[in-house]
Copies of this chain bind each other. A is one copy, B any other.
Amino acid sequence: MKIAIYGYGNLGRGVESAVKQNPDVELVRVFTRRDPATVKTLTGVPVDRTENVLNYKGEIDVLVLCGGSATDLPETTPKLAGDFNAIDSFDTHANIPAHFAKVDAAATKGGKLALISAGWDPGMFSLNRLYASAILPSGKDYTFWGRGVSQGHSDAIRRVPGVRDARQYTVPIQSALDAVRSGSNPELTTRQKHLRECYVVPEEGADLAAIETAIKTMPNYFSDYDTTVTFVSQEELDKNHAGLPHGGFVIRSGKTGLDGEHSHTIEYNLKLDSNPEFTGSVLVAFARAIDRMSRRGVVGCKTVFDVAPIDLSPLSPEEVRAHML
């Protein structure tokens, strides 16, 4: 199975390293908006310009779109889904129905198969919300994120005057997790679920108190949360906060029994050293499924909900039944 990567940032490199662990998957090309002469891939895969991608029609089983959800994917997935089987990790939850409709129209018209919003949230977390709610209809589910780096929040801090660099961690609050796990189905405010920890490198001579206030009162990003601001040197940030860890929890608790007398808790959690490498690994597994489903004649846009799990595995159905069931 031949795949190509379209967009070569952290996520593209995550997909590239995931391919190395999947012997049935071959990475044939990386497409970049930069000058290919300036881009050296981790594994020596040849690079071409994004505008040349249509030259490769017929040579790529699945194109893995590794752009951002804010501006790249809303453009590129619908644009390319008519020419290639395609997969993306579009993660702006509120815009998924609109993105789905555009990609579905393009893929259906071109007789191709696309899958949007693969990763861990949306992606594996979504699957767990669906499975758990189907099993325990009388219940409530909760999603917690972290402890992990939010790139959007880190970027927001960097836009504050006087800030040179920053890293923001989203941290689930243990007492809220414990309350959810107890099965008590608590009502939790935004502030009760997550803390925001900010590590900030100030410009020389900057007004630290003003920076701290600007961060803590920033609407949408920080004002609804308990936020800590710690000023650090660039060296300290580079040394201790260079990684992109993330993770989180999907927990559903629900009742069964004629009178709801029995409680059950279903929990799925992830602890990830590298958010882009894990997301890349999910994309490669679902790219395998897309390739198989496409060979069976499936066209249009799908999501992780439409994929039978067996299609994700490189093993045969017989092996999977014998060893994993």
Q: Which A positions have Cβ atoms within 8 angstroms of B?
A: 14, 17-18, 20-22, 42-43, 93, 96-97, 100, 117, 122, 124, 126-131, 133-138, 181, 183, 256-258, 262-274, 277-278, 280-282, 285, 288, 303-310, 312-314, 317-318, 320-322, 324-325
Closest beta carbon of chain B to A325's beta carbon, Å: 5
Inter-subunit contact B265/A324 (CB<8 Å): no
Most buried by B among A22, A97, A277: A277
When the two chains form their complex, are residues A131 and B127 in contact, meaning their CB atoms are under 8 A apart?
A: yes
Q: Which residues of B contact A308 (CB under 8 A)?
A: 305-308
Do A305 and B310 touch (CB < 8 A)?
yes
Q: Chain B's nearest CB lies how many Å from the CB of A256?
A: 4
Task: Return A158 CB to nearest CB of chain B, in Å.
Answer: 24
Is there an interface contact between B303 and A274, defined as CB atoms closer than 8 Å? no
A265–B274 Cα distance when bound, in Å, is 11
A114 to chain B, nearest CB (A): 14
Q: Which residue of B lies closest to A117 (CB)?
A: B325
Tell me the complex Cα distance, A259–B14, Å. Answer: 12
Is A131 a contact partner of B309 (Cβ separation < 8 A)?
Answer: yes
CB distance from A87 to the nearest CB of B (A): 14
Our pick among B129, B266, B271, B278 for the contact of A135 (Cβ within 8 Å) is B278
Docked CA distance A273–B26 (Å): 47
Contact between A126 and B325 (Cβ–Cβ < 8 Å)? Answer: yes
A317→B100 CA distance, assembly (Å): 12
Which residues from B are CB-within-8-Å of A285?
134-135
Given the known interface contacts A256-B14, A258-B42, A322-B96, the answer about A273 and B264 at a Cβ–Cβ threshold of 8 Å is yes
Instruction: Give the number of copies in the complex.
Output: 2
* Complex interface: chain B residues within 8 A of A14 (CB): 256
Is the Cβ of B318 less than 8 Å from the Cβ of A97? yes
* A18 partner residues in chain B, CB cutoff 8 A: 256
- Residue contact A273 to B278, C-beta cutoff 8 Å: no
| Cβ–Cβ contact B325 & A96, under 8 A | yes
- Residues of chain B within 8 A (CB-CB) of A256 are 14, 17-18, 21, 273-274, 277-278, 280-281
- For A324, give the chain B residue with the smallest CB separation: B129
Q: 5 A-B residue contacts at CB 8 Å?
A: A18-B256, A130-B310, A263-B273, A265-B270, A305-B325
Whether A136 contacts B264 in the complex (CB less than 8 A), given A21-B256, A126-B325, A131-B124, comes out as: no
Most buried by B among A137, A256, A263: A256
| Known A-B contacts A277-B256, A277-B257, A317-B305; A312 and B134 likewise in contact (beta carbons under 8 Å) | yes
Beyond A14-B256, A264-B272, list 19 extra A-B contacts (CB 8 Å): A18-B256, A43-B258, A96-B321, A117-B325, A124-B131, A126-B325, A130-B310, A133-B324, A134-B309, A135-B278, A135-B281, A135-B285, A256-B281, A262-B273, A267-B268, A267-B271, A303-B321, A304-B309, A304-B325
Query: When the two chains form their complex, are residues A131 and B312 in contact, meaning their CB atoms are under 8 A apart?
Result: yes
Shortest C-beta distance, A89 to chain B (Å), equals: 12
